[in-house]
């Protein structure tokens, strides 16, 4: 069984928000709803300073706090590594929103919680997620983390990539390449 | 976009945490008083039993109203998730409601024993065992099993928030302790309030008033000392934790909630009533003189300020917790 993961190369991101728009189009989201967002920050001191964009979406953690805290088992972790919300079970208590350190969960109008689904319909057919295919600078890389010979696994080992907020023991499946 | 704050849990959740804590506190005080002296503290036990079921019901309604899909709340009771404090809490609240209602029923005066109106219940040998000769035993059992459940309810309100590693302001082992102490404080304050202003002292001897008064003031005094310690350890615990927690504690130490926290939670909620309790109790402790004459002003200020402080504490913790974020490099 493949266990999907992603690499996000922060150094390539130019902050065009195309991934956000592609995701919104695909999932039929309103203007202010988004499953992925860019965290923007400035760092360094004059004259050596710069600005970076950090694309953040559901990290599909291996130790997902949202699944642990869900009182009705609406948040589930699939065998292929994807974390999903079963909307028929969700009662909208918003506890998972409070538990998620990445702030990527949103409330839909119908009253259930939704978030990035890793474009599960696409990846099961062997295609790539929409945020990845739309990106003009190739920030994202998608693949099977269980296969040590896959492109993504080799890339993670080669660049010694780290996860985002890994100190919280969420064991995220998205790796970041930082400047 | 970093540092963007979304408040998803608003004051309605604070109402629930406050109400559940108040009920649990009232039950704990009532049941404890029952075990310490069945006749001596009967007033405290009885008033606590009358109070306990009602705030928690308001709290449960508030909690259900706060759901995005209130009509589906029953799904909570189709499953039991030991990892989810929300699931544990909903079960605890269910059992607590049952226990506090039973406790209330057992302490109703004989003439209000409405179940006796129905002949099948009156004649049923099984059901009539719950009243009459066995009353003392049943009361003791309900109070005894109710205490751990109500302690569970009071702690759950804190653990619900404290179990989240993603929120540095909440993720502190002292928070549930602070909530427990505050729950018992608000519980005893509500008992004192109802005793002084709703029930009144009609038909009570002066000695009886004094024993009950001494008991409730002593409980209050002890709890206030413990809540000062809990607040101190809570703030200290955040200060000696990683960077995100230090940034989080700045919300109440110089940041947005400083005024609210120190005025309402510490000042109104702890220090003012503590000063009045000292005024009431210390001469009695030191010189063993008679308690002061009952003054409605003192009891009124103590109880209302404790209740205000208890609610303010929940309110600030709910909002501050969602504003504080994990900071990473």
Residue B321: list chain A partners with CB under 8 A: 98
If one compares B198 and B71, the residue with the highest pLDDT of the two is B71
Mean pLDDT (chain A) is 89
DSSP-assigned states of every residue in B89-132: HHHHHHHHHHHHHHHHHHHS-GGG-GGGGSHHHHH-HHHHTTSG
Query: Rounded distance, CA A111 to CA A96, Å?
Result: 14
Give the pLDDT of residue B85.
92
3-class secondary structure, B232:
helix
pLDDT at B222 over 80: yes
Q: Smallest CA–CA separation between A74 and chain B, in Å?
A: 10
Specify which residues A54 forms β-bridges with: A39
Cβ-based neighbours of B304, under 8 Å, separated by 6 or more: B193
Contact indicator for A58, A8 with CB cutoff of 8 Å: no
Name the residue facing B68 among A70, A71, A94 (closest C-beta). Answer: A94
If one compares B327 and B169, the residue with the highest pLDDT of the two is B169
Residue A21 — pLDDT band, cuts 50, 70, 90? very high
pLDDT in tens, A128-171: 899 999 999 989 999 888 888 888 899 999 988 888 888 888 88
If one compares B326 and B290, the residue with the highest pLDDT of the two is B326
Contact indicator for B185, B227 with CB cutoff of 8 Å: yes
Averaged pLDDT, B201-223: 83
Give the pLDDT of residue B114.
64
HSE value, Cβ hemisphere, 13 Å, CA-based, for A24: 14
Query: Rounded distance, CA A158 to CA A162, Å?
Result: 12
Residue B4: list chain A partners with CB under 8 A: 103
Is A100 an 8 Å CB contact of chain B? yes
Query: Which of A20, A72, A100 is best to mutate for the B interface (most B CBs within 10 A)?
Result: A72
pLDDT in tens, B52-92: 999 999 999 999 999 999 998 998 999 898 989 999 999 99
Query: Rounded distance, CA B329 to CA A82, Å?
Result: 26
Lowest mean pLDDT segment, chosen from B15-19, B23-27, B187-191, B278-282: B278-282
Averaged pLDDT, A23-52: 86
Averaged pLDDT, B220-247: 92
3-class secondary structure, A156:
helix
Query: Rounded distance, CA B237 to CA B96, Å?
Result: 31
Name the residue facing A65 among B2, B166, B321 (closest C-beta). Answer: B166
Residue B312 — pLDDT band, cuts 50, 70, 90? very high
pLDDT in tens, B161-186: 999 988 999 998 899 999 999 999 99
Q: Kind of pairing, strands A83-85 and A75-77?
A: antiparallel
Q: Smallest CA–CA separation between B47 and chain A, in Å?
A: 33
Q: What percent of chain A has pLDDT over 70?
A: 99
Q: Please give the residue of chain A at the shortest CA–CA distance from B326.
A: A101
Which helix (H) or strand (E) element contains residue A142?
strand A140-144
Specify which residues B196 forms β-bridges with: none
pLDDT in tens, B41-61: 888 898 999 999 999 999 999
The residue among B219, B200, B204 whose CA lies nearest residue B32 is B219
Residue B137 — pLDDT band, cuts 50, 70, 90? confident
- Would you say how long chain B is, in residues? 329
Give the pLDDT of residue B126.
63
- Answer yes or no: do B83 and A68 touch at CB < 8 A: yes
pLDDT in tens, B233-244: 999 999 998 888
Q: Which structure tokens are listed for A129?
A: 């997620």
Q: Please state, in angstroms and as integers, the Cα–Cα distance from residue A112 to each residue in A31, A71, A94, following that order.
A: 18, 14, 9
Q: For chain A, report the end-to-end CA distance as a whole number of angstroms.
A: 33
Mean pLDDT (chain B) is 87
- Answer yes or no: do A70 and B1 touch at CB < 8 A: no
- Count the neighbouring beta carbons within 10 Å of the beta carbon of residue A11: 12
Residue A101: list chain B partners with CB under 8 A: 165-166, 326
Contact indicator for B251, B257 with CB cutoff of 8 Å: yes
The residue among B241, B268, B263 whose CA lies nearest residue B252 is B263
Contact indicator for B95, B22 with CB cutoff of 8 Å: no
pLDDT in tens, B258-311: 999 999 999 999 999 999 988 888 888 787 777 777 778 888 899 999 999 999
The residue among B217, B157, B164, B160 whose CA lies nearest residue B182 is B157
Residue A36: list chain B partners with CB under 8 A: none
Contact indicator for B182, B21 with CB cutoff of 8 Å: yes
């Amino acid at each position: 069984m493949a266990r999907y993961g992603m690499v996000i190369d922060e150094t390539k991101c130019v902050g065009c928000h195309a991934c956000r728009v592609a995701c919104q189009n695909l999932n039929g989201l309103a203007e202010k709803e988004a499953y992925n967002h860019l965290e923007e920050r400035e760092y360094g001191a004059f004259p050596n300073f710069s600005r970076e964009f950090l694309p953040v979406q559901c990290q599909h953690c291996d130790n997902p706090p949202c699944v642990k805290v869900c009182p009705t088992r609406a948040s589930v972790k699939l065998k292929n590594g994807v974390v999903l919300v079963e909307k028929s079970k969700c009662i909208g208590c918003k506890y998972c929103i409070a538990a998620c350190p990445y702030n990527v969960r949103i409330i839909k109008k119908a009253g259930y919680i939704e978030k990035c689904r890793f474009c599960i319909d696409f990846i099961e057919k062997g295609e790539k997620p929409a945020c990845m295919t739309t990106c003009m600078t190739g920030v994202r890389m998608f693949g099977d983390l269980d296969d040590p010979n896959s492109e993504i696994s080799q890339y993670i080992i080669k660049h010694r990539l780290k996860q985002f907020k890994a100190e919280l023991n969420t064991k995220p499946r998205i790796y970041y390449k930082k400047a | 976009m970093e540092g963007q704050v979304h408040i998803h849990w608003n004051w309605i959740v604070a109402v629930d945490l406050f109400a559940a804590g108040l009920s649990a506190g009232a039950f704990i005080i009532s049941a404890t008083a029952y075990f310490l002296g069945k006749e001596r503290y009967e007033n405290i036990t009885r008033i606590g039993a009358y109070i306990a079921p009602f705030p928690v019901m308001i709290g449960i309604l508030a909690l259900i109203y706060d759901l995005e899909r209130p009509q589906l709340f029953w799904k909570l009771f189709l499953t039991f998730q030991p990892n989810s404090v929300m699931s544990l809490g909903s079960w605890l609240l269910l059992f607590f409601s049952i226990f506090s209602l039973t406790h209330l029923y057992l302490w109703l005066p004989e003439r209000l024993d409405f179940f006796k109106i129905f002949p099948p219940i009156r004649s049923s040998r099984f059901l009539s065992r719950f009243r009459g000769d066995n009353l003392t035993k049943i009361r003791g059992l309900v109070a005894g099993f109710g205490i751990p459940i109500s302690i569970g309810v009071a702690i759950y309100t804190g653990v619900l928030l404290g179990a989240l590693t993603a929120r540095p302001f909440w993720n502190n082992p002292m928070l549930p302790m602070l909530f427990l102490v505050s729950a018992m404080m608000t519980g005893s304050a509500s008992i004192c309030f109802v005793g002084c202003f709703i029930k009144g002292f009609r038909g009570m001897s002066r000695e009886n008033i004094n024993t009950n008064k001494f008991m409730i003031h002593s409980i209050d005094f002890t709890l206030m000392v413990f809540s000062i310690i809990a607040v101190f350890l809570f703030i200290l615990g955040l200060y000696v934790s990683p960077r995100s927690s230090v940034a989080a504690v700045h919300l109440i130490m110089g940041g947005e909630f400083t005024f609210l926290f120190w005025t309402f939670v510490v000042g109104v909620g702890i220090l003012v009533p503590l000063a009045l309790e000292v005024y009431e109790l210390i001469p009695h402790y030191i010189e063993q003189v008679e308690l002061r004459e009952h003054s409605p002003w003192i009891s009124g200020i103590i109880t209302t300020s404790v209740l205000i402080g208890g609610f303010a504490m929940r309110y600030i913790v709910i909002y501050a917790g969602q504003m504080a974020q994990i900071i990473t490099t």
